Structure 1
Amino acid sequence: MIYKYRQHTIKRMFERGITQADVQAALSSGRIVENYPTDYPFPSCLWLGYAGNRPLHIVYADTPQGERIIITVYEPDPAQWSTDFTTRLKP
């Protein structure tokens, strides 16, 4: 799989202390917690994975050319997510 990072994504990862190695580790195991089938130009999803003990949410889209576009990466806020980081809490 070829990973493509948007410039905005790289900037946010740097601000959040998340490396490309962290992203690859989190994508190596985990699961989709939300699907966004109507996203344009490609359907995307929210993935939950771990870089060591650190939970990471990764929004990505797969292209027909076999590329995975990393849209954003962040550590989920426990105040906004269930304890397993798979379900958004209602405000």
Structure 2
Amino acid sequence: MEEIQYRHSARIVSRLRRQAKADEIRVTIHGHREMAAENITYDSVREALMDGEIIENYPDHQRGPCCLLCGRTRPGDLLHVVCTTSLDVIVVITVYEPKRPKWITPFERGSFDEM
């Protein structure tokens, strides 16, 4: 089962990277707001999508299958991008820098009790 999930995730990552490279990306209003609030540029989001790995899958999301991806930008910053995984374009739902207390590391969730 784990091998099947890995192959599925690898296919999704490959498709997301192709779409990002081709600039087939749309950002929701919420995503734009989060980018503005954290001074994250569109180019940084695109770089994170081209570099990223899936850390969580959301197959039953209201916008359709989505994932949380962690990727590195050219300056070396890590970003989290929540985006669709099955459309002709990537729809970026939200983007942010993973920080405490929500995230212990960019790949490990923190405790909500600390918030």
Q: How does 1:63-78 map to 2 (within 5 A)?
A: 63-64=86-87, 66-78=88-100
Q: What is the CA–CA distance in structure 2 between the aligned matches of 1:8 and 1:89, rounded to whole Å?
A: 23
TM-score, length of structure 2 as denominator length: 0.70
Aligned to 1:59: 82
Give the counterpart letter for 1:53 in structure 2. G
* In structure 2, C-alpha distance between the alignment counterparts of 1:13 and 1:19, rounded to whole Å: 7
Q: Unaligned 5+ residue runs, structure 2?
A: 1-18
Write 1 or 2 for the structure with the bigger share of strand.
1
Please report the TM-score for the alignment, with normalisation by the length of structure 1: 0.86
Contact kept, 8 Å, 2:66 with 2:83, in 1: the verdict is yes
Structure number with the higher helix fraction is 2
Gaps in structure 1 of 5+ consecutive residues: none
CA RMSD of aligned residues (A): 1.4
> How many residue pairs align between the two structures?
89
Percent of aligned positions that are identical: 33
Name the SS of the counterpart of 1:41 in structure 2: coil
The structure with the larger Rg is 2
Instruction: Report 1 or 2 for greater relative contact order, CA contacts < 8 Å, sequence distance ≥ 6.
Output: 1
